[in-house]
Structure 1
Amino acid sequence: MNRLLSRIRRAAGATRRRLAPSPEVAAWRRACRLAERTPRYTHGEIELGPYTLQYSDLLTLCPQWDDIFVRRSLAFTTPAQAPRILDCGANLGLASLFFKRAYPAAKITAFEADPAIARMLAANLRRNGAADVEVVAAAAWIADGDVAFCGDGADSGAIADHARPASRPAERVPAIRLVDRLARERIYLLKLGIEGAEAAVLADCEPALGNVAAILLEVHEFDPDRRQAPAVLQLLERCGFAYAVTHVTPLPWLPEATGAAAHFPGRSSVWVEAVSAWRRSRS
């Protein structure tokens, strides 16, 4: 009987969500309908919930909104009223806006390597009440200076050495060595969405990760012969973090590795893992 009641409640809840969706879900649905008739890589502006956002590609903005504001994949709790946050791979600024909604006094630095996207990022933050977020138009990397970067006109630009197949030609963009930022102050949350460069950057940052309380990162697995997750997770353990792999998203539209389809047809060998890491309790 209890199981039956639970099923009925879940079904009733699902019906309510369909008939009376939250503002975030309603905004996502409207954006998806608009994206269906909007050509790819068309710049524009859209109202999503309380925000007015510039975008470079509406089709890739929609899943970002769903992930961050509907599914709340970046939600975290802290007693601090003004947590220090580094948003690496900030793209159009949705993550920083989400953090600001939860913690209005948060002190955030947002890094974005793609010059055109970085300009939209800064505009979106200014226009939506987050002008105090520091915007750094540079790649979070393992050295200061510049680095070859392959933009894609949307949300998947990457440092050339870590770019996925079929990326656009590279350009030189500014780069900052992230470990230097970590070494100079305590960071509550380090968010890393840097499209394949996360293993290299985390390895370089290892000496300073003691200054970081929590990490939200994406591990991009583009090559079955060079999986990054084992090294990343082992590094987190060495640095005193517990972790959870919270979601795995296959990327079947990307080119498969040679021979992968022959063994397991219909299964993607390319994916991205969402990982949450936090300081282990001291016993």
Structure 2
Amino acid sequence: MYHIPEALFSSDHKVIIDLGANVGLTSVFFALQYPKAKIYALEAEEENYQILEKNVSFSKNIVAEHAAIDTKDGVVFLSSPDLSYNFKISDKGEENGSPVKAYSMFTYMNTLGIDHIDLLKIDIEGLEQFLLKNNNEWLKKVDNIIIELHDPYTIDQLRQDLLPFGFKVIPADSFKGLKMIFATKRSS
């Protein structure tokens, strides 16, 4: 699944958020890795969400919701992609787009009663650059991030966006060619 740097491994993790949870495999991995943590899994695509619910049903520590994350609250539209695993989200109604409830990070955290995130996983198919650049003061409340970058968002832009919040970005080439990038506020 993930080769997570030792600096991010801690049995002390209490709150983990999985944005773009897909069918829940990462949420299950986190539940097994951090059995004391509460894991919140957010997935926008309906079919993926249905599978996610089944996959995480064994764990009382995982809370799944069918919704999207955005820079503002409202509704986004999910359109069918050419590839079954890569969906396009827009804030404008599109011909084949399905409406999905969207949260800003502040609203999502407030709705769940969360004031601190130990570990945040982001795999939201290209929207990560908007999430981390806009309405991003919530990043003060996050300790560690695991993120999959999608073009055109670069690791240098990620560093620039996270630097004001005290994150150190760990280069991707350290992790066996995975597209996952790690950022932490912990000194290593």
**If the length of structure 1 is used for normalisation, what is the TM-score?**
0.56
- 165, 168, 174: which one aligns with 1:242: 168
Larger relative contact order (C-alpha < 8 A, sep ≥ 6)? 2
- Tell me by how many angstroms 1:280 deviates: 4.8
Partner of 1:56: none
Paired residues for 1:95-106 under 5 Å? 95-106=26-37
Paired residues for 1:157-236 under 5 Å? 157-160=87-90, 169-182=96-109, 184-221=114-151, 227-229=152-154, 230-236=156-162
CA distance in 2, matches of 1:240, 1:210: 8
Structure 1 gap segments, 5+ residues each: 1-67, 162-167, 222-226, 249-271
SS of residue matched to 1:122: helix
SS of residue matched to 2:9: coil
CA distance in 1, matches of 2:173, 2:108: 28
Q: Which has the higher helix share?
A: 1
Partner of 2:71: 142
Q: Deviations over 1:15-63 (max 9, x none)?
A: xxxxxxxxxxxxxxxxxxxxxxxxxxxxxxxxxxxxxxxxxxxxxxxxx
Q: Deviations over 1:54-99 (max 9, x none)?
A: xxxxxxxxxxxxxx1xxx335641141x520000000000000101
Q: Deviations over 1:124-157 (max 9, x none)?
A: 111xx22431111001111222102124473222
- Tell me by how many angstroms 1:210 deviates: 1.2
Runs of 4+ aligned residues of structure 1 deviating over 4 Å after TM superposition are: none
Identity of aligned residues (%): 29
Partner of 1:13: none
SS of residue matched to 2:121: strand
Partner of 1:115: 46
Q: Which amino acid aligns with 1:140?
A: I
- Tell me by how many angstroms 1:241 deviates: 0.4
* Gap change, CA 1:89 and 1:247, over 3 Å in 2: farther
Structure 2 gap segments, 5+ residues each: none
- Tell me by how many angstroms 1:214 deviates: 0.2
CA distance in 2, matches of 1:174, 1:146: 5
Larger radius of gyration: 1
SS of residue matched to 2:150: strand
SS of residue matched to 1:220: coil
Paired residues for 1:6-25 under 5 Å? none
CA distance in 2, matches of 1:87, 1:245: 21
Check conservation: 1:83, 1:188, Cα contact below 8 A: yes
Check conservation: 2:105, 2:138, Cα contact below 8 A: no
Check conservation: 2:69, 2:105, Cα contact below 8 A: yes
CA RMSD in angstroms comes to 2.5
Q: Name the count of aligned residue pairs.
A: 175
Q: Deviations over 1:230-259 (max 9, x none)?
A: 3322011121000123259xxxxxxxxxxx
SS of residue matched to 2:171: strand
Partner of 2:181: 275
